[in-house]
């Protein structure tokens, strides 16, 4: 099994380090995160090249980062600041690839949390959804 | 003083340059390709001994088909699309003409050029519901929350091609004038439509990323 990281600026890095991904989340500019594909992805591939799981990251200042985990068969989870009541906060409209997308604001988490969950996913080496974080099925 | 030979060669060179300038000045100015999702040179840390598999041309190994910028630009120039926000794609394959698609934010602006009824959200919802009914996935979910690819240009061209032709060819090539987002490039993106439409191989060509979505049995593999 191996992991691959796709940066917003269209670089593809095999077996990235947690430190590198965290530094992009915490230290790069919002214009960096809205360039290129306007999002990033870490994915795990099995030995035959099939995707085991994916984590998509989309930073939009000032809201934070949207973190989505894709399991098998379009099963999706997102990190949520208010997992008991995702609708507690109002909706915000951001752009993905230039196209508007309206989401609950609670789907955007702090940069620090996003860096932790991405690091945990990378360090797991097994592609499982990191536990100990607030996920909801989206 | 110039010898005859050197004078002749110099004259020939000057004449060639003049002819080239004349030729170039007679050419119509081609519209500049819109650089969507522009990638500037950001200062990224690279001192970590990481395995950078690219310099943004890394994925071209799967296909040597160049991005058809001119056709995408021609479609764009007939519409009032935003240079920064809107995206144009088209799909083509054996026996079918180019079928264009745009992102949902652009569909009203491009409606005249798309030239058919049912180009809007209803079309996107129709195929989202087909995934729910036929693949038994996304059940009970809302398209806007869980299925952004259905609202993007790449999927739109595939849906419109299916509307026009019914069964699509097994092998398709899709050109798009922006780097696809990871929702589209991931397993819940174009892969879902490849499964729904029973396509064997979809090659996606963009300004910076090229990949194939290949169906093997009931599963799909992204090859890059
Ligand atoms: Zn997309």
Distance separating alpha carbons of residues A138 and B147, to the nearest angstrom: 10
Task: Identify which of A19, A36, A38 has the shortest CB distance to residue B48.
Answer: A19
Distance separating alpha carbons of residues A66 and B109, to the nearest angstrom: 29
Cα–Cα nearest to B75, from B93, B100, B45, B105: B100
Instruction: Tell whether the model's pLDDT for residue B4 goes beyond 50.
Output: no
Pick the residue of B36, B183, B193, B216 with the most A CBs within 10 A to test the interface with A by mutation.
B183
Of A86-100, A112-126, B93-107, the poorest mean pLDDT is in A86-100
Task: Identify which of A13, A38, A102 has the shortest CB distance to residue B52.
Answer: A13
Please compute the mean of the pLDDT values over residues B154-179 and round it to a whole number.
96
Distance separating alpha carbons of residues B131 and A46, to the nearest angstrom: 26
Q: Above pLDDT 90, what percent of chain B?
A: 62
Please compute the mean of the pLDDT values over residues B128-140 and round it to a whole number.
96
For chain A, the domains span 2-137
Please compute the mean of the pLDDT values over residues A28-50 and round it to a whole number.
95
Specify the pairing of strand B96-102 against strand B171-176: unpaired
Which pLDDT belongs to residue B80?
A: 87
What is the maximum span of chain A, computed from C-alpha positions, in angstroms?
Answer: 43
Distance from CA of B84 to the nearest CA of A (A): 7
Give me B88's structure tokens. 């144009």
Task: Identify which of A37, A48, A74 has the shortest CB distance to residue B192.
Answer: A74
Distance from CA of B92 to the nearest CA of A (A): 22
Cβ distance A12 to B39 less than 8 Å, yes or no, reads: no
Chain-centre distance for alpha carbon B14: 42
Q: Which residue of B has its CA nearest to A53?
A: B187
* Chain B residues touching residue A76 (CB < 8 angstroms): 146, 188
Which pLDDT belongs to residue B200?
A: 97
Please compute the mean of the pLDDT values over residues B15-26 and round it to a whole number.
40
Which pLDDT belongs to residue B33?
A: 43
Distance separating alpha carbons of residues B177 and B34, to the nearest angstrom: 8
Give me A3's structure tokens. 């992991």
Task: Using CB atoms within 10 Å of the CB of residue B12, give its burial: 0 to 12 exposed, 13 to 18 middle, 19+ buried.
Answer: exposed
Please compute the mean of the pLDDT values over residues B118-138 and round it to a whole number.
92
Which pLDDT belongs to residue B1?
A: 38
Contacting residues for A33 by C-beta, under 8 A, at least 6 apart: A8, A39, A40, A58, A59, A60, A61
Buried b (16+ CB within 10 A) or exposed e, B141-154: bebbbbbbbbbbbb
* Chain B residues touching residue A108 (CB < 8 angstroms): none
Give me A54's structure tokens. 């994916």
Chain-centre distance for alpha carbon A87: 20
**CA B153 to ligand 1 centroid distance, Å:** 7
Q: Which residue of A has its CA nearest to B186?
A: A54
Cα–Cα nearest to A122, from A68, A44, A70, A66: A44
CB A119: neighbour CB atoms within 10 A? 17
Q: Which residue of A has its CA nearest to B210?
A: A10
Instruction: Tell whether the model's pLDDT for residue B47 goes beyond 60.
Output: no
Distance from CA of B113 to the nearest CA of A (A): 19
Which pLDDT belongs to residue A85?
A: 79
Cβ distance A50 to B221 less than 8 Å, yes or no, reads: yes
Distance from CA of B180 to the nearest CA of A (A): 6
What sign does the CA torsion over A112, A117, A121, A124 have? Answer: positive
| Residues composing chain B | 224
Cα–Cα nearest to B143, from A59, A138, A40: A138
Pick the residue of B34, B42, B43, B101 with the most A CBs within 10 A to test the interface with A by mutation.
B42
Alpha helices in B29-181 (DSSP H): 69-77, 111-114, 121-130, 143-146, 153-165
Task: Identify which of A13, A17, A35 has the shortest CB distance to residue B39.
Answer: A35
């Amino acid at each position: 099994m191996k992991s691959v990281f796709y940066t917003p600026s269209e670089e593809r890095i095999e077996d990235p380090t947690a430190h590198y991904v965290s530094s992009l989340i915490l230290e790069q500019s919002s214009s960096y995160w809205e360039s290129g594909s306007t999002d990033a992805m870490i994915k795990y591939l099995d030995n035959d090249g099939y995707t085991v799981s994916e984590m998509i990251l989309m930073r939009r200042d000032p809201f934070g980062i949207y973190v989505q985990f894709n399991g098998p068969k379009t099963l999706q989870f997102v990190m949520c600041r208010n997992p008991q009541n995702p609708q507690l906060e109002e909706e915000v409209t951001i752009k993905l690839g230039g196209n508007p997308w309206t989401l609950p604001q609670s789907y955007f988490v702090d940069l620090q949390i996003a860096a932790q969950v991405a690091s945990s996913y990378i360090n797991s080496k097994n592609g499982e959804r990191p536990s100990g974080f607030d996920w909801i099925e989206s | 003083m110039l010898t005859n030979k050197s004078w002749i060669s110099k004259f020939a060179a000057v004449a060639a340059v003049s002819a080239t300038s004349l030729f170039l000045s007679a050419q119509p100015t081609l519209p500049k390709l819109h650089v969507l999702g522009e990638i500037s040179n950001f200062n990224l840390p690279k001192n970590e001994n990481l395995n950078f598999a690219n310099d943004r041309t890394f994925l071209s190994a799967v296909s040597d088909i160049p991005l058809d910028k001119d056709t995408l630009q021609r479609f764009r120039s007939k519409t009032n699309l935003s240079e920064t926000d809107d995206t144009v794609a088209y799909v083509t394959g054996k026996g079918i003409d180019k079928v264009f698609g745009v992102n949902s934010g652009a569909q009203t602006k491009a409606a005249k050029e798309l030239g058919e009824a049912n180009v809007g959200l209803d079309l996107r919802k129709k195929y989202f519901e087909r995934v729910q009914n036929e693949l038994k996935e996304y059940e009970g979910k809302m398209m806007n929350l869980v299925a952004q690819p259905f609202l993007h240009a790449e999927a739109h061209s595939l849906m419109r091609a299916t509307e026009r032709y019914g069964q699509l060819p097994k092998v398709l090539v899709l050109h798009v004038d922006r780097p696809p987002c990871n929702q589209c490039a991931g397993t819940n993106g174009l892969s879902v439509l490849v499964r729904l439409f029973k396509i064997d191989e979809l090659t996606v060509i963009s300004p910076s990323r090229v990949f194939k979505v290949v169906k093997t049995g009931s599963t799909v593999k992204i090859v890059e």
